[in-house]
Amino acid sequence: MSRMTTFDPLAPFQWLNVSESSGGGALGVIFSVAFFRGLDPAEVVRRFSRGESSGQESDFGGLGDKAYEFVDETDGGDGGGYVGVFKAGEWCVAIEPHGWMVTLHEVVTALSQGCEVLAVTRHDYAAEHSFAYAIDGTLVTGYPLRHPHERYGSDPDRLNGFMRELGMGLDKPEDEAAWDAAWEDNYDTAVPRGFALAAKVTGVPFRPDMLDRPMLVGPIVKK
């Protein structure tokens, strides 16, 4: 008799959840990944750079070097300063090492003008892990990854079906015991659940072999 196995939907995204004490993984403990539908990679770079650049061909190592130099020059307070973009099916994937800009409300809504943007940020220090989904200048759904009951946006319940499939508790905890249980459930699973949700929405699972793809790299220009 064959033994049935249960697929863990978070397993493909655990590489994004490696603790700093275990090396931090390929992207470290501060990074953002955004998915764009309706734009090509050069246009995505132009939006991040506010028209200053259409990107230069590079690889993930080159992106990391530029981000590291930027962080070293600015002491890390302005993120990683660069983004690398490549095509994945109907979407473009934008990687922001050491950064969190793309999930900021004013940034993701500007980037989403005339297109669709879904972004996930991991930030193990000053900021909160976060998720943002915007369409044509409107933030549709956002939430702190460890608090899925704190959804906001023009349609905060848009992704509830997918979120429930991933085991997220969507109701606000009613007492201290429930808060403790929710925190325990979400603390170590928040980042892989965020990327699993992104994959359900976009159909593009963010895999480690994607870091081997050629990409266009350009600066992130703030206002």
Give tens-digit pLDDT for 17-54.
999 999 999 999 999 999 999 999 999 999 999 999 99
Backbone angles phi, psi at 171, to 5 degrees: -95, 140
For residue 82, pLDDT over 90 is answered with yes
Closest among 8, 7, 29 to 17, alpha carbons compared: 29
pTM of the model: 0.94
**What tokens does 37 get?**
């539908």
The tens digit of pLDDT for each residue in 94-132 reads 999 999 999 999 999 999 999 999 999 999 986 689 999
**Average pLDDT for 207-215:** 98
Q: Longest C-alpha distance within the chain, in Å?
A: 63
Bridge partners, 30 (sequence order): 123
Bridge partners, 116 (sequence order): 37, 135
**What tokens does 96 get?**
């922001």
| pLDDT the model gives residue 1 | 47
Backbone angles phi, psi at 116, to 5 degrees: -125, 130
Give the separation between CA 50 and CA 90, rounded to whole angstroms: 23
Domain ranges of the chain: 26-219
Query: CA separation (Å) from 98 to 65, 123, 199?
Result: 11, 8, 22
